[in-house]
Amino acid sequence: MPYSKPLMDRYAMQAQQTASKAKTFVSPVDVDAVGAELSLSTEDSRGIANYMQDIGWAKILGGSPIQLVLTPLGFEEIAKLKLSPWRRFVVRHWPEFLVAVGAGLLAGLVLWLLNKIF
């Protein structure tokens, strides 16, 4: 299967949801079970799990059912996926957002002052 960010995002959110149902602090989830809930093949779900490990979102545990444990970075990044599109934009581009807001406020202030003077 070729790389698909929306599919990887859905897999990560499903893994996080499955992990949050457990009662332990660090709760491993079955890689194949998460993929099955998204109608993915075993190979695809293991490929996505390996990719999540490569980018630091999870650690894969060996065993009879291969299991995945989300890292703190994984939890943080998955939480960002659940934000609304405009909030995701602000989180990803906050310096540019601050410059744009500052420039807008400065322009508004200059126009207001020019209006008062003339």
Predicted confidence at residue 18, as pLDDT, reads 92
Domain that holds residue 88: 84-118
CATH number assigned to the domain comprising residue 58:
1.10.10.10
Closest to 94 in 3D by CA, of 82, 86, 105: 86
Whether 59 and 20 share a structural domain: yes
* Cα separations in angstroms, 87 against 4, 19, 80, 83, 94: 22, 25, 9, 6, 10
Residue corresponding to tokens 């190979």: 43
Whether 60 and 101 share a structural domain: no
Predicted confidence at residue 63, as pLDDT, reads 83
Ranges of residues in the chain whose predicted pLDDT is under 70: none
Predicted confidence at residue 32, as pLDDT, reads 94
For the chain, the domain total comes to 2
Whether 59 and 112 share a structural domain: no
Whether 28 and 13 share a structural domain: yes
Whether 36 and 12 share a structural domain: yes
Whether 94 and 115 share a structural domain: yes
Neighbours of 13 (CB within 10 A): 16
Predicted confidence at residue 110, as pLDDT, reads 94
Whether 90 and 76 share a structural domain: no
